[in-house]
Amino acid sequence: MITSLFLLQLALLVFGAVAGFLCRRSEEQANWAVHLSAVFAGAVGVIYSLTALTGGRSFDLGFFSISPVGPLRLAIDPLSAFFVLVISFLSTVTSIYAIGYSRHYQGDGRDSRIACLGFLYNLFILSMILVVTARDAFYFLIFWEVMSLVSYFLVVFEHTKPEARQAGIFYFVMTHAGTALIAAAFWLLFIETGSFSFDAFRLHANNLPSVVKNAVFLCALAGFGTKAGLVPVHVWLPRAHPQAPSHVSALMSGVMIKTAVYALIRFLFTFLGEIPLWWGTLLLTVAILSTLFGILYALMEHDLKRLLAFSSIENMGIIFLGVGMAAVFTSLGEPLYAGFALIAALYHLMNHAFFKGLLFLGAGSVLSQTHTRNMEQLGGLIRKMPWTAGAFLIGCLAISALPPMNGFVSEWMTLMALLAGSGFDGEGLRFFTPVLASLLGFAGALAATCFVKAFGITFLGSPRSSHSEQATEASVSMKVGLGILSAGCVALGISCGWMIPLLNRAANSALGYSDENLFSFSRQGFLVSPAGMSQISPLVIFFTLAVLLIALVVLLGKGVYRIGPSWACGMPALSPRMQYSAIGYSKPMRRVFSFLYRPTRRVEVEEEGHDLLRTAQRFEVKIEPFFEKILYRPAVQWISRLSERAKQIQRGHIQLYLSYIFITLLLLLIFVRMS
């Protein structure tokens, strides 16, 4: 049954891709057609992937068996099923949301922008599903490339904006550099095994020479790390993600960058056999750098969607902390701990898809109503858009890892996995893993600071511009999308005791363990760390908090508070410009981390003759992009110098080009004759 459901999902996505072009009459119809078929495709995907994950069912399909590179094999095992589940669920929700959100792309019916958007959008989901189900390196690369190209076109979808085009170029170049490295990794494996099939890679995993193994690992880490947005190859992510339409940003940050995690898990635990300890250490180093830099740059950001994009880098770092610990424990020969760490990573991956999807959709609602992403122009939206604000708040709580939300559970598990590493010897594990754990806690605190800013400046206070003053609540489909994800964030938090068994299967199959009941990290709604070091129940926390909240309301009643102007400080009237601003809020952080940010500030004062009679004042502060300065600018300069030199042979004379061909031919002829 799941085979036919899988094919049904693919068919629905293909139909959705072309549906927009069939409804030429009405953009409204096209909008419904493309997004509804994506909704159904997503729902079908959720059904069969859940069946596969709970029932341990799988399928294995082969197509085009006569093609020269071998048949196209699509198969699902628990790990693939888990990724299909995440992709399908999030795409269902974003498609519901997109019905309302895409309305502002509806034009006069001639330019068929909706049809184009629907085509790219459905193809994007389709390519992600195929990436995680392909069982052959050749087709994997094709689907990977389709995914990259389609997402590039989605990034430049609003191509009339110069910054979208610029971000697109950035993304295009970096993602292709990454793909080249991935192709190199697969090519090395192909040379060693003589086959493109994943099964062949798995069978030869233990016969690989260690030089090749290290080369494959480094290529794969750099290639997939580029897609995952790991520091220092993250620079495309904060540029590209905000430029796409918001529901696409949600998918890109929520699931597209996760396909890199999927691929890297396959490489680490399936294709490469025994893992040296230093791989895990390298992964942990990259991960903690991403966590810290991601959140530090998010703190300084005043563009709502860019802030979310930087925070995606942080969360990818957290996921990779889990993956890194799983690699470390595998090389130490501790399957129980490795499973726990990998489950932590997968759980955080799913949670991040939920809350980052929610936050991007929320930011999209704000953007569609106020037409600005700049937080300094927003404010007071909680009164205009209460539903959006509520959903956004839940997302902020989840991403700040506050109980009983889902982010808390997975970050707790990651923390436990890191702390468990202190019990082992080798490469300074005993010392460094607790340091990493404390840095993770620090990053969590910074994330909370960051999202207090994001929520407070955007939704609280009074409107800072006419944009936010005239905002109204988003449309029904957008509210439904936000509602589902908010409920999901809470549900994934309190139901973790029931989610863990599902993840067990995925982690089991990823690590290649055959014992079904190896891991039991949940006991009656409680989450238990391996060896019973500590346990926790978000469900209990949830009910305790709920009881406390009810008790507070009942005990204190309504009489104790009164409504008055906030932060008035005795002034008779407050103007919106007197409010706390995002720049002001992040000032302490800018001072503490000035060694990293190197902020430059500029104050312009207009005055009328006297120092105190100021008519206008402008304040501007800029932080220095560290990685751009030390890595990317030199690289770009070097490449442009090189291409200047290569330009010498390009004179534009047609005869010269003909002579190049002619001389090459003659030299080849002589070469053949001589040899």
Partner 1 sequence: MSADLIPSLIHLTGMLLLAAALAIIASPQLFACIRLYAAHSFLLAATTILVACHEGVTHLWIPALLTLLLKVIVIPQVFFRMIRRLGIRREVESYINIPFSLILAVALLFLSFYGTAHLPGLSGVEEREFIPMAAATVFWGMLMMATRKKALTQIVGLLLMENGLFLMAITLTSGMPLLVELGIFFDVLVGVIIMGVFVFKIRDAFEGIDVDDLTVLKG
Binding region for partner 1 (CB under 8 A): 650-655, 658-659, 661-662, 665-666, 669-670, 672-673
Of residues 562 and 647, the one with the C-beta less far from partner 1:
647
Of residues 615 and 648, the one with the C-beta less far from partner 1:
648
Strand order from edge to edge, sheet including 526-528:
522-523, 526-528, 535-536
Of residues 476 and 656, the one with the C-beta less far from partner 1:
656
Of residues 476 and 639, the one with the C-beta less far from partner 1:
639
- In three state form, how does the secondary structure of 553-619 look? HHHHCCCCCCCCCCCCCCCCCCCHHHCCCHHHHCHHHHHHCHHHHCCEEEEEEEECCCCCCEEEEEE
Q: In the bound complex, what is the minimum distance in angstroms from residue 654's beta carbon to partner 1?
A: 5
Of residues 551 and 669, the one with the C-beta less far from partner 1:
669
* CA separation for the pair 461, 378 (Å, rounded): 9
Of residues 614 and 651, the one with the C-beta less far from partner 1:
651
* The one-letter amino acid at 543: F
* CA separation for the pair 366, 471 (Å, rounded): 8
Q: In the bound complex, what is the minimum distance in angstroms from residue 658's beta carbon to partner 1?
A: 4
Q: In the bound complex, what is the minimum distance in angstroms from residue 659's beta carbon to partner 1?
A: 4
52: left (phi over 0), alpha (psi -120 to 50) or beta: alpha
Of residues 54 and 659, the one with the C-beta less far from partner 1:
659
Biggest distance spanned by C-alpha atoms of the chain: 102
For residue 521, give the nearest of 497, 550, 542, 544 by alpha carbon.
Answer: 497
* CA separation for the pair 138, 69 (Å, rounded): 7
**Residues sharing a CB contact under 8 Å with residue 500, sequence separation 6 or more, in sequence order:** 343, 347, 521, 522, 527
Q: In the bound complex, what is the minimum distance in angstroms from residue 634's beta carbon to partner 1?
A: 24
Q: In the bound complex, what is the minimum distance in angstroms from residue 474's beta carbon to partner 1?
A: 46
Of residues 110 and 673, the one with the C-beta less far from partner 1:
673
Of residues 637 and 659, the one with the C-beta less far from partner 1:
659
Hey, which residues does 179 pair with through a beta bridge? Answer: none
Q: In the bound complex, what is the minimum distance in angstroms from residue 169's beta carbon to partner 1?
A: 16
Q: In the bound complex, what is the minimum distance in angstroms from residue 662's beta carbon to partner 1?
A: 5
Tokens of 37: 């078929």
Q: In the bound complex, what is the minimum distance in angstroms from residue 656's beta carbon to partner 1?
A: 8
Of residues 543 and 662, the one with the C-beta less far from partner 1:
662
Q: In the bound complex, what is the minimum distance in angstroms from residue 639's beta carbon to partner 1?
A: 16
Q: Nearest 5°: phi and psi at 82?
A: -60, -45
Q: In the bound complex, what is the minimum distance in angstroms from residue 669's beta carbon to partner 1?
A: 4
Of residues 66 and 654, the one with the C-beta less far from partner 1:
654
* Residue 105 contacts residue 120 (beta carbons within 8 Å): no
* CA separation for the pair 615, 608 (Å, rounded): 7
Q: In the bound complex, what is the minimum distance in angstroms from residue 664's beta carbon to partner 1?
A: 11
Distance of CA 370 to the CA centre of its chain: 25
Q: CB under 8 Å, gap of 24 or more: what pairs does 524-533 form? A: 524/497, 525/497, 525/498, 526/497, 527/409, 527/412, 527/413, 527/496, 527/497, 527/500, 529/340, 529/413, 529/416, 529/420, 530/336, 530/337, 530/339, 530/340, 530/420, 531/336, 531/420, 533/416, 533/419, 533/420
Q: Nearest 5°: phi and psi at 615?
A: -95, -30
* The one-letter amino acid at 464: R
